[in-house]
Structure 1
Amino acid sequence: MDDVARARDAAREALANVEPERLRETLDDRLVDAAVTPGVLSLVTARALDPEVDLEEVVDRAAGVQLIYEGLRLTRWLAHEEPWATAATRESDIDADMDVLAADVLVSRGFSLLAHTGAAAAAVEVVRAFGRDQTEREAEGVDPAEAAALDRNLEVDALELAVVAGTTAVGGDPPAELLEYARELAADCDREFPPPGRALPETTADRIADISDRAVSATDR
């Protein structure tokens, strides 16, 4: 199984027991075609740092990262589009309400998967940063360029969380350079990640391993 399928399946499995059925279907519909770059990066990071790692012990972390990102991404869309304000029918109004509930479930289920890991504090900070960014975005006088930059912070924060989740899965903390590399990966993302087949550059694992090796060497001096 490749990392894209592994990350997606883990995220979907984490929501398999959600009720009612309509909510579960709404959640699954969001994940089935989603770009799973954050989840994949968690897996790639863990394997790059420890080639012998059992990825089955990392998939829950990858799913947690992915679900938090998907929930916040949906929240961002809801805040900007306000679909309930333009709902033309009762059915479309219900759909909007279901999306609000779905966003909450995605984030809370993601938190539950990371709660007892070394990525728990980073996950909390991602959500707090998102709230600050969106509050600032709605402030009077914010120009379109600044608003777009604030929106893009979510993708940056999601990839930083991914490398934290992957690194702590193998018993370490990410060096500052690895967090900077995560920010580089997110730099070209305009409020969405690439399609699943292009989730990450082919050189990602090598870069992560190299960064880690240099950080260890510097510590040993």
Structure 2
Amino acid sequence: MMEEAAAVRRAARATVDDIEPARLRDDLLAFIDDVSLAPGVLTLFTARICSGSTDGLEKRAAGVQLIYNGLRLTRQLAREEPWEDSDRTSADMHILAADVLVARGFYLLARTEAAETAVDVVRAFGQHQTNRREQNDSSLDAQLEHDVLELALATGASVANAEGETEADVDGGTNAGTGTDADAVGITPGLRAIADDLAAVCGDTTGFPAPETFLSEAVTTQLTRSVAEASPDS
């Protein structure tokens, strides 16, 4: 599991390594390093269950991770409103960093089967935050972790429908063998049930625990069984 976490971290850091100015890049790298890599590791873990391999899938996992990092930072800024009583320049830099994280995450998933699910997660986040403010309902904050779990599971499971796809296909924007955009896949009821269970024990508004805690033996056993049952071939 440490190997998967390291792979996700490397891929996520590499995605923002060309960002200028240096201060923004440093902020992005710090946010990547400070947030649990559980979403990205779950993506790889699910891919291994569904296809038996995670080869070449680090960028997909990093895409899930970056979207979560960016939305989590956005939620934090919405709660704290640092423009009110803090350094406005730092606050502006942080909101820019959040936007870049989400955008780079989208880039990595843009032409994969999980792209539409990623869009749905971001749209839902915006709606939940609007409702939270209007209804003063802080419980809506936790929906982000649930939705990201769904995205991780869907992204990992989607590799079963992408045989022959390579990193070049993800970067180049085509689905291997067809020359067209990848077909979208949605969240199956089975995967949604898994996300519900995982969110109940592992995800809250403080974020996810470390991957080795998140994917405990009991959780991984349940996930393996549930994903197998949700598979079209089961």
**Normalised by the shorter chain, which TM-score bucket?**
0.7 to 0.9
CA–CA separation in structure 2 for the residues paired with 1:31 and 1:194: 14
Asked whether 1:149 is paired with 2:139, we answer yes
- Aligned counterpart for 1:194 among listed residues 206, 209, 220: 209
Closer/same/farther in 2, CA of residues 56 and 19 from structure 1, 3 Å limit: farther
C-alpha displacement of 1:209? 3.3
Contact 1:45 1:205 in 2 (8 A): no
C-alpha displacement of 1:199? 3.1
1:114-138 alpha-carbon deviations (Å, 9 max, x no partner): 0000000000000010011000001
Equivalent residue, structure 1, for 2:197: 184
Equivalent position amino acid for 1:190 in 2: D
1:38-76 alpha-carbon deviations (Å, 9 max, x no partner): 11110000001122x2x2421111000000011001111
Equivalent residue, structure 2, for 1:108: 103
Matches within 5 A, 1:59-98: 59-87=58-86, 92-98=87-93
CA–CA separation in structure 2 for the residues paired with 1:214 and 1:34: 31
Equivalent residue, structure 2, for 1:27: 28
Asked whether 1:214 is paired with 2:204, we answer no
Q: Please, which runs of 5 or more residues in structure 1 have no aligned partner?
A: none
Superposition TM-score, scaled by structure 2 size: 0.82
Contact 1:36 1:199 in 2 (8 A): no
- 3-state SS of 2:83 partner: helix
C-alpha displacement of 1:205? 4.1
Equivalent position amino acid for 2:196 in 1: R
Equivalent residue, structure 2, for 1:167: 157
Contact 2:41 2:211 in 1 (8 A): no
Superposed CA RMSD in Å reads 1.9
CA–CA separation in structure 2 for the residues paired with 1:135 and 1:66: 23
Equivalent residue, structure 2, for 1:12: 13
CA–CA separation in structure 2 for the residues paired with 1:35 and 1:151: 17
1:92-143 alpha-carbon deviations (Å, 9 max, x no partner): 321111101000000000001000000000000000100110000011xx35
CA–CA separation in structure 2 for the residues paired with 1:18 and 1:105: 9
Closer/same/farther in 2, CA of residues 49 and 203 from structure 1, 3 Å limit: farther
Contact 1:48 1:205 in 2 (8 A): no
Q: How many residues align?
A: 208
C-alpha displacement of 1:215? 3.6
Equivalent position amino acid for 2:226 in 1: I
Equivalent residue, structure 1, for 2:180: none
- 3-state SS of 1:83 partner: coil
Contact 1:40 1:199 in 2 (8 A): no
Closer/same/farther in 2, CA of residues 204 and 196 from structure 1, 3 Å limit: closer
C-alpha displacement of 1:196? 4.2
C-alpha displacement of 1:193? 0.6
1:6-56 alpha-carbon deviations (Å, 9 max, x no partner): 1122111111111111100000011113101111110000001122x2x24
CA–CA separation in structure 1 for the residues paired with 2:62 and 2:24: 18
Contact 2:128 2:140 in 1 (8 A): yes
Closer/same/farther in 2, CA of residues 30 and 132 from structure 1, 3 Å limit: same
CA–CA separation in structure 1 for the residues paired with 2:148 and 2:12: 15
